[in-house]
Amino acid sequence: MEIKGKKIFITGGAGFVGSHTADKLLEMDCSVTVYDNLKTGQSDIFLKDAKTNKDFKMVEGDILDLDKLKSEMDGHDFVFHLSANADVRGGLDNTRIDLEQNTIGTWNVLEAMKINNVKGIAFSSTSAMYGEPDKFPTPENYNPTQTSLYGASKLAGEAMIQAFCEGFGIKSWIFRFVSLIGERYTHGVIFDFIKKLHSDPKELEILGDGEQKKSYLYIGDCVNAMVFAIQNADEKVNTFNLGNVEYMNVKDVANIIIEEMKLSDVKFKFTGGEKGWIGDAPFVQLAVDRIQSLGWKPEVSIEDGIRKTAQYLLQNKELLDRR
């Protein structure tokens, strides 16, 4: 599907992934509307440049407000549905949040699309929907058992998208992300490590045993992959893992951050166990053959992406103070 020059609606567009997506689409001469409740989005920093573009519009609104969502989506050609509760651990404290923000919110977006006759959607799913797989790299057709409410809510969102595609002539591009890193990153292991080391530069608490192996993808590569897939895959439902062929353990991530912060003699304190928390996967490596078969591949290595992320946070310390 060609999206260059189209009118695009982005839920969660003031966040990490959404703001980079908005910038990319504006470069493609699209007209972009960002719809965000600004509970975690940082529009003052992340959308600073976008707001100077005449083809950009910012709407403060929640995807749970169906009437407003329907009204604001009117007249658009395509939706990037990137709004979500992305705190995997937080779902254990509030078991409704993933249901509401990820599952019901996705239904609202689809219902608004149906009413406004919008025929294309890109959806940010997650590697967490694979639970704890026993096959690596994990392919898109793996049959998962759910280990987190977050992963379950995203899988439910995928299923609803598939059903709306079948019933209402919508086309979808579902992207299962590994952990994303890069500029404007505001939560996750790199953020947590830098914040902890600011508080105590001599000791770093690491959840689990530090041997958890994770794949990471640089945000620029992620956004480019989404746009590339939309323009080069044309099934009714197009599902892609987005990740790196490489991975890195958490201790190595910590050592890179310590280097970037120019610290020495930092002692690691492990909480123990092979998982950092309930729902954490000790090993994440997704098979990316499907997206690569179209001609896409990441340009930034995991190590370079981690260094870029750390450098950005160290240069924008106000983001550390906001959480």
Question: What are residue 10's phi and psi, to 5 degrees?
Answer: -120, 115
- 291 belongs to a structural domain: no
- 254 belongs to a structural domain: yes
Q: What is the pLDDT of residue 232?
A: 98
Same-domain check for residues 75 and 57: yes
- 38 belongs to a structural domain: yes
- 290 belongs to a structural domain: no
CB atoms within 10 A of CB 48: 11
Number of domains, the chain: 2
What's the CATH number where 62 sits? 3.40.50.720
Q: 3-state SS string over 10-67?
A: EECCCCHHHHHHHHHHHHCCCEEEEEECCCCCCHHHHCCCHHHCCCEEEEECCCCCHH
Single-letter code of the amino acid located at 115: I
- 1 belongs to a structural domain: no
- 210 belongs to a structural domain: yes
The C-alpha atoms of residue 251 and residue 182 are separated, in whole angstroms, by 19
pLDDT lower than 50: segments of the chain? none
- 120 belongs to a structural domain: yes
Q: What is the pLDDT of residue 322?
A: 79
Q: Which domain holds residue 277?
A: 185-214+246-284+300-321
Q: What is the pLDDT of residue 277?
A: 85
CB of 216 closer than 8 Å to CB of 305 = yes
Same-domain check for residues 208 and 98: no
Query: Considering only CA atoms, which of 158, 275, 253 is closest in space to residue 207?
Result: 275
pLDDT digits (tens, 9 = 90+) for 271-319: 999 999 888 999 999 999 999 999 999 999 999 999 999 999 999 998 9
Same-domain check for residues 203 and 220: no
pTM of the model: 0.96
Q: What is the pLDDT of residue 230?
A: 98
Give the E-state strand segments of the chain in sequence order: 7-11, 31-36, 56-60, 78-81, 120-126, 171-177, 179-181, 203-206, 213-214, 216-218, 237-242, 248-249, 267-270
